[in-house]
């Protein structure tokens, strides 16, 4: 940059950058609809002429024509910047649609293929004596297993998780708290199969216990704990400090303040977090394969002998590969997805219902 | 504020307080102990397996852990895990950024709220259901795409396709991409929403179009958030078990073509081999699990560090 | 190059809430017009309708006409992007792009509008930083981030960024309210220089500032909280401050309310 002249020189006129009018040429409103129809026609025509089997390919060709054609047209009429803006908007919309398609298909397939198989009989009978190619059988044993394993896992994970969160928010400071925070985050990312392998190596291979629902629950509790800690921690942080100080100023000891004031204030959010964690572990399969092993019969004792569980049931039925088994797999998948979704929706309802009414 | 005179009971440490703080501190420490125990137990069993291994743990293309002597190596698993996760990331990250932008900047506000909610719900769909859908719906529907890829890009070798059922690493990658989409989307969306309004308005006032506003303010501001969200997604993809176990037709070979069946991943191999594994077989699977554990630990740790750094940075603003 | 603004019957809404009601006025080219009035009287909202920034706020909606010379900003076929390109804006809190260097901040608007040679861009950046009385302070660290500057320097950087695209009109929304007195003085001096090139409209809470920098002053008021803001009177600054025609203006200026 040369130190030339200029102190109060009036700005050089640059007619090239200044728009002479605020209006700019615009494509008429109907052009987009016309383009859409045109691209659909081109997509269909190309598909017919080239003899493409898949309608998806027709659609892709049409979408490509629409995006590229729109860009060219806007570019020619409205200018490059507008064209880039339009292109970005099209891509954002496309990415949304691209993501919706598989997810909608997943839900649709599960519901459509699952509904015929779900019945009262299906929910109340086990697979005892039913061969893989036979119709019939049910998921009672698996439902029972899932419920027991999830409850056992909660009994372990919830107190530990709550207390850890209390420590982090109310007591913790310094290196220990930072280390715990970091490892809770890292723990969230542990693959479920690794948690399963850990319990396998410790509980079954080293300590010599057998396969059981409880072993599965141990692994599930490892997956559940960090979620409980994280969500509880967030909720406790939202409790205003004035509440704690008011209680302490009345001479209430800290532990009673936490139990009687802090936790009740945050209970709605904490419940939500716990229910979301339950929903997450209820769908876990990998540790169950390693630790609970699977069982076609009803085993009501989670501490002794192999059990089943819903996700494991889905996996086993899929693995049989017969039509009857596939039907059972879809039906069980539908029950599982409904179970998880109901937990989720209930959790969010609790969050809304029990949201701390914060005055200003 | 209180003078010593007004605090006569200062020295009497309440029993209740001591017990409660001890309990909560104990739980925190228990958590650290569990993390350490995971590392220790896995390492012990892995060491036993590796000591008996007659093959090279890193380079052997074979998994005969139940044979005597046992011969096994993770080369194929490492390749399959990394390749399928990379495919998943390549597909999922741009789409997730698109959806996040759609929710934060393009969709009408009510629609945006609903979509955000649905994305959160989808993150909760159990992976076995993705697996079932992948195996029974996605696999048969991939052949058209694979034929097309083969016709135009088959000469590269990577996209060669023989017309067998599409139970390959590519299908796995696509399924994993669909599975990690919700988590990446919801993290990036939160970051995009935090872009200071002041910066967006500054760009608008300079005469920027909507896309230019996003390019000048939202994307630079959210860059570290995008990176860490992607790594969280990567962590999930690396460790995913059931979706891979149901879709992939495994083999202990590395196939040059991503579209043809074969290969394997750590998690899938553990789930598929477990029931036939004897004592040594299990130790060998645990050894491979340890590698997976370290891999996800590194990826997640890095993601968390990036998030933490970003918090400090935005806190000082 | 500076343009005249004629506003007729302008009403602005946030959703169903009417923020300002039926405002008509004109703004002279190459002059400084100050908007004063109590908090919530809609002066900032009104300012934001002058470059179509109001509609960026969710639920923001405008009725009425704003003529820039002879062209209606809200006319059919008018592109808001061109409007904002022609009517620049400086905000209450300095908001340089945190991820860009000082140089890139000034060049940001130009880079949107076309490609420039490096030497051309260097010249424009230097000219505008000089114009904002900032050149001497930053010429040795043009590649450092703009967020490293002091508040007053950041605000002058934002002014340089706004002037670099050579708008016709420059809107300033309480540009000094986040600054210390010395930085405020620097900005006020700068406003005095800029009016030789631009039509300037400034919103301020500070009546001394309005008296010091502006040629004309408009007083806004609202009947009660929740009611829409209205323009009470507008005229030469000297007259408004010495001899207001409306009682409310006099009360406000003499500090009896607001």
Interchain contact, C84 vs B199, CB within 8 Å: no
Fold of A140-353: MetI-like fold (1.10.3720)
Closest in A92, A187, A205 to B106, CB measured: A92
Size of interface A-B (CB pairs under 8 A): 266
pLDDT in tens, A107-163: 999 999 999 999 999 999 888 888 888 888 889 999 999 999 999 999 999 999 999
How far apart CA A154 and CA A333 sit, in angstroms, is 23
Interchain contact, C98 vs B207, CB within 8 Å: no
Interchain contact, A110 vs B232, CB within 8 Å: no
* Domains of chain C as residue ranges with CATH: 5-96+168-253 (3.40.50.300)
Distances (CA, A) of C134 to B205, C78, C103, C121: 21, 35, 12, 17
How far apart CA C91 and CA C203 sit, in angstroms, is 10
Model pLDDT, residue C257: 66
Average pLDDT, chain B: 87
Interchain contact, A23 vs C73, CB within 8 Å: no
Q: What is the pTM of this model?
A: 0.87
| Residues of A with Cβ-Cβ distance to C73 under 8 angstroms | 22
Cis peptide before A221 (omega within 30 of 0): no
Burial of B125: CB neighbours in 10 Å, binned 0-12, 13-18, 19+: buried
Beta-bridge partner residues of C61: C13
Establish if C34 touches chain A: CB-CB under 8 angstroms. no
How far apart CA B73 and CA B55 sit, in angstroms, is 7
Q: What ranges do the domains of chain B cover? A: 78-315
State the CB neighbour count (10 A cutoff) for residue A41: 12
How far apart CA A192 and CA B270 sit, in angstroms, is 12
Interchain contact, A195 vs B38, CB within 8 Å: yes
> Going by CATH, does the domain composed of B78-315 fall within 1.10.1060.10?
no
The more confident residue out of B15 and A213 is: A213
Interchain contact, A187 vs B125, CB within 8 Å: no
Name all contacts of C72-76 with Cβ < 8 Å and 24+ positions apart.
C73/A22, C75/A22, C75/A23
Establish if C127 touches chain A: CB-CB under 8 angstroms. yes
Confidence band of B30 (pLDDT split at 50, 70, 90): very high
The answer on pLDDT for B27 being more than 60 is yes
Q: What distance in Å separates residue B2's CA from the closest CA in chain A?
A: 11
Closest in A17, A19, A23 to C77, CB measured: A23
Model pLDDT, residue B3: 43
Interchain contact, B206 vs C161, CB within 8 Å: yes
Q: What ranges do the domains of chain A cover? A: 30-115, 140-353
Secondary structure (H, E, C), chain A:
CCCCCCCCCCCCCCCCCCCCCCECCCCCCHHHHHHHHHHHHHHHHHHHHHCCCCHHHHHHHHHHHHHHHHHHHHHHHHCHHHHHHHHHHHHHHHHHHHHHHHHHHHHHHHHHHHHHHCCHHHHHCCCCCCCCCCCCCCCHHHHHHHHHHHHHHHHHHHHHHHHHHHHHHHHCCHHHHHHHHHHHHHHHCCCHHHHHHHHHHHHHHHCCCCCEHHHHHHHHHHHHHHHHHHHHHHHHHHCCHHHHHHHHHCCCCHHHHHHHHHHHHHHHHHHHHHHHHHHHHHCCCHHHHHHCECCCCCCCCCCCECECCHHHHHHHHHHHCCHHHHHHHHHHHHHHHHHHHHHHHHHHHHHHHCCCCCCC
H or E segment to which residue B245 belongs: helix B242-247
Size of interface A-C (CB pairs under 8 A): 52
Helix or strand or coil: residue C195? Answer: coil
Model pLDDT, residue B67: 84
Establish if C98 touches chain B: CB-CB under 8 angstroms. yes
Interchain contact, C112 vs A9, CB within 8 Å: no
Q: What distance in Å separates residue C82's CA from the closest CA in chain A?
A: 5
Residues A304-318 as b or e (16 or more Cβ within 10 Å = b): eebbbbbbbbbbbbb
Q: Which of C50, C66, C77, C110 to mutate to test the interface with A (most CBs of A within 10 A)?
A: C77
State the CB neighbour count (10 A cutoff) for residue A321: 12
H or E segment to which residue C234 belongs: strand C229-236
Q: What distance in Å separates residue B302's CA from the closest CA in chain C?
A: 22
pLDDT in tens, C20-46: 999 999 999 999 999 999 888 889 999
Establish if A51 touches chain B: CB-CB under 8 angstroms. no
| Residues of C with Cβ-Cβ distance to B207 under 8 angstroms | 81-82, 84-86, 109, 112-113, 165
Interchain contact, C197 vs A10, CB within 8 Å: yes
The residue among B58, B86, B93 whose CA lies nearest residue B72 is B58
Interchain contact, B209 vs C85, CB within 8 Å: no
Q: Which residues of chain C have a pLDDT value below 70?
A: 1, 257-258
Q: Which residues of chain A have a pLDDT value below 50?
A: 1-17, 358-360
Q: Which of A11, A21, A77 to mutate to test the interface with C (most CBs of C within 10 A)?
A: A11
Beta-bridge partner residues of A320: none
Confidence band of B129 (pLDDT split at 50, 70, 90): very high
Model pLDDT, residue B24: 93
Establish if C84 touches chain B: CB-CB under 8 angstroms. yes
Model pLDDT, residue B128: 94
């Amino acid at each position: 940059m040369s130190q030339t002249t200029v102190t109060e020189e009036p700005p050089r006129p640059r007619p090239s950058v200044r728009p002479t009018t605020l209006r700019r040429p615009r494509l008429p409103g109907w052009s987009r609809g016309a383009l859409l129809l045109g691209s659909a026609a081109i997509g269909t025509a190309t598909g017919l002429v080239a003899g493409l089997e898949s309608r998806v390919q027709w659609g892709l060709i049409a979408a490509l024509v629409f995006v590229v054609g729109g860009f060219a047209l806007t570019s020619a009429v409205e200018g490059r910047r507008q064209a880039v803006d339009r292109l970005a908007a099209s891509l954002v919309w496309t990415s949304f649609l691209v993501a919706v398609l598989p997810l909608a298909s997943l839900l649709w397939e599960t519901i459509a293929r699952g509904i015929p198989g779900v019945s009262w009989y299906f929910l109340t009978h086990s697979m005892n004596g039913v061969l893989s190619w036979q119709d019939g059988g049910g998921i009672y044993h698996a439902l029972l297993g899932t419920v027991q394993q999830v409850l056992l896992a909660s009994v372990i994970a919830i107190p530990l998780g709550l207390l850890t969160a209390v420590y982090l928010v109310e007591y913790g400071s310094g290196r220990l708290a930072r280390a715990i925070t970091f490892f809770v985050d890292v723990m969230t990312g542990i693959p479920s199969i690794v948690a399963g392998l850990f319990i396998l190596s410790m509980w079954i291979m080293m300590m010599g216990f057998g396969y059981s629902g409880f072993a599965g629950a141990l692994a599930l509790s490892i997956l559940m704990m960090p979620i409980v800690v994280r969500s509880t921690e967030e909720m406790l942080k939202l409790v205003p400090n004035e509440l704690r100080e008011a209680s302490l100023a009345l001479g209430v000891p800290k532990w009673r303040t936490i139990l009687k004031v802090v936790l009740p204030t945050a209970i709605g959010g904490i419940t939500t977090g716990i229910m979301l964690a339950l929903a997450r572990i209820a769908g876990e399969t990998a540790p169950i394969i390693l630790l609970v092993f699977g069982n076609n019969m009803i085993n009501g004792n989670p501490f002794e002998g192999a059990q089943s569980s819903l996700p494991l049931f889905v996996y086993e039925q899929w693995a049989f590969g017969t039509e009857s088994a596939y039907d059972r797999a879809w039906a069980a998948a539908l029950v599982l997805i409904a179970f998880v979704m109901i937990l989720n929706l209930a959790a969010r309802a609790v969050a809304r219902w029990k949201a701390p009414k914060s005055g200003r | 504020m209180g003078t010593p005179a007004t605090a006569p009971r200062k020295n009497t440490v309440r029993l209740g307080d001591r017990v409660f703080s001890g309990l909560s501190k104990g739980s925190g420490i228990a958590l650290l102990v569990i993390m350490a125990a995971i590392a220790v137990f896995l390492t012990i069993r892995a060491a036993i397996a590796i000591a008996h291994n007659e093959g090279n743990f890193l380079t052997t293309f074979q998994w005969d852990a139940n044979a005597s002597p046992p011969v096994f190596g993770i080369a194929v698993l490492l390749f399959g895990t990394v390749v399928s996760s990379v495919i998943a990331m390549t597909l999922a990250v741009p789409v997730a950024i698109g959806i996040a932008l759609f929710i934060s900047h393009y969709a009408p506000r009510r629609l945006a709220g609903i979509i955000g909610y649905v994305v959160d719900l989808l993150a909760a769909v159990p992976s076995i259901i993705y697996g079932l859908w992948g195996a029974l719906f996605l696999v048969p529907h991939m052949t058209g795409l694979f034929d097309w890829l083969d016709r135009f890009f088959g000469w590269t070798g990577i996209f060669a396709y023989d017309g067998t059922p599409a139970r390959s690493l590519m299908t796995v990658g696509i399924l994993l991409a669909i599975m990690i989409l919700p988590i990446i989307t919801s993290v990036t969306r939160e970051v995009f929403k935090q872009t200071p309004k002041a910066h967006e308005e500054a760009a608008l006032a300079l005469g920027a179009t909507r896309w230019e506003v996003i390019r000048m303010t939202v994307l630079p501001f959210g860059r570290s958030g995008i990176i860490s969200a992607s790594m969280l997604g990567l962590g999930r993809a690396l460790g995913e078990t059931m979706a891979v176990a149901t879709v992939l037709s495994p083999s202990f070979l590395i196939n040059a073509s991503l579209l043809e069946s074969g290969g394997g991943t750590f998690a899938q191999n553990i789930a598929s081999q477990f029931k036939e594994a004897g004592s040594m077989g299990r130790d060998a699977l645990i050894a491979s699990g340890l590698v997976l554990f370290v891999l996800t630990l590194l990826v997640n740790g890095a993601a968390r560090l990036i998030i933490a750094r970003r918090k400090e940075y935005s806190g000082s603003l | 190059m500076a343009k005249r603004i004629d506003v007729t019957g302008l009403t602005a809404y946030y959703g169903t809430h009417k923020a300002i009601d039926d405002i008509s006025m004109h703004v002279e080219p190459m002059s400084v017009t100050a908007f004063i009035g109590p908090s919530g009287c809609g002066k900032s909202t009104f300012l934001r309708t002058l470059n179509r920034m109001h509609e960026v706020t969710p639920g923001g909606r405008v009725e009425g006409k704003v003529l820039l010379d002879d062209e209606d900003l809200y006319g059919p076929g008018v592109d808001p992007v061109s409007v904002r390109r022609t009517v620049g804006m400086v905000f209450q809190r300095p908001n340089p792009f945190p991820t860009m260097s000082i140089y890139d901040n000034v060049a940001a608007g130009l880079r949107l509008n076309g490609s420039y040679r490096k030497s051309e861009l260097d010249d424009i950046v230097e000219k505008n930083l000089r114009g904002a009385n900032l050149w001497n302070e930053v010429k040795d660290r043009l590649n450092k981030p703009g967020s490293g500057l002091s508040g007053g320097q950041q605000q002058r950087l934002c002014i340089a960024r706004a002037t670099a695209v050579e708008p016709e009109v420059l809107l300033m929304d309480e540009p000094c309210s986040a600054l210390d007195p010395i930085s405020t003085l620097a900005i006020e001096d700068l406003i005095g220089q800029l009016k030789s090139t631009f039509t300037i409209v400034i919103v301020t809470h500070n009546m001394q500032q309005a008296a010091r920098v502006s040629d004309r002053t408009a007083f806004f008021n609202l009947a009660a909280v929740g009611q829409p803001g209205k323009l009470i009177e507008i005229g030469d600054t000297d007259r408004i401050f010495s001899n207001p025609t409306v009682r409310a203006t006099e009360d406000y200026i003499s500090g009896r309310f607001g």
